[in-house]
Amino acid sequence: MIRNSSILIVDDEKNIRFTLTEALTSLAAEIDTAINAEEALEKIKQKSYSVMLLDLKLPGMDGISFLKMINEIRPEIRVIIITAHGSIESAVDAMKLGAVDFIQKPFVPNEIRELVSQVLERETLDEKNVQDYNGFLELAKKSIGDHYIESAIEFVKKAINIDSKRPEAYNLLGVLLELQHDREGAQRNYRVALSLDPSYEPAQKNLSRTTHSSLNGKINLGE
């Protein structure tokens, strides 16, 4: 956990703001909330946040438009997208703007707590000290937040070189190839992930989403 970390929750649903606040209290971070992008904008102008949990579907300014503004004025904030209304277009757009992870409603408190902890802890990673599979996957996600997609791909490939029999890296590589508009390459990697573990749900969802004519669906970075 990064010391003196702070979290901003941006969601127009009161019960979601309350649930997230309660779930994250044990992280010993400062937690603020906002009901829309306009209120959140005022808060981030006055205070530096480590992580923002952002609902894409907000009244007034939508989440993607707000994410563009965050990218311009506070690019250091790690943004986790929370949505029950996601689509592949908005997910990919959000990742291009530096969103580091996604979680979909409904969720359980432990799930969001673990995700926020991972996002905070990966900020302390140093490439020189990373030698293991999970470490390189976390470096890849950190690179996404820094808008370095090519670097993220290289880190994923290093993870695969360490262990080519696990599905997570292939699934994440598929996601990164989607960001580069290589849907066929993405699908190949999703299929590799499923050949290694047919029960791996993130790859199942990503392959199903990209092979159907409808683009509706949430992109899954995996664990």
Q: CB–CB of 176/157 below 8 Å?
A: no
C-alpha triplet 35, 41, 47: angle, nearest 5°? 105
**Measured in whole angstroms, how far is the alpha carbon of residue 115 from the centre of its chain?**
9
Q: How many residues does the chain have?
A: 223
The domain boundary, picked from 98, 122, 146, lies at: 122
Q: Which pLDDT tens digit goes with each residue over 47-79?
A: 999 999 998 888 888 888 898 899 888 888 999
The domain boundary, picked from 91, 122, 153, lies at: 122
- Of 120, 70, 60, 62, nearest to 97 by C-alpha is 70
pLDDT band at 91 (very low <50, low <70, confident <90, very high): low
| 117 and 178 share one domain | no
Contacts of 182 (CB under 8 A, 6+ apart): none
C-alpha triplet 64, 114, 139: angle, nearest 5°? 70
Number of domains the chain contains: 2
| 101 and 139 share one domain | no
The domain boundary, picked from 122, 142, 165, lies at: 122
Look-up: residue for tokens 């905070």? 120
Q: Which pLDDT tens digit goes with each residue over 111-136?
A: 899 999 988 888 888 888 889 999 99
**Rounded distance between C-alpha atoms, residue 177 and residue 194, angstroms:** 17
What range defines the domain where residue 88 resides?
6-122
Domain at 144, CATH number: 1.25.40.10
Task: Name the pTM for this structure.
Answer: 0.76
Q: Which pLDDT tens digit goes with each residue over 145-169?
A: 888 899 999 999 999 999 999 999 9
**Tokens at residue 46, please?**
């006055």
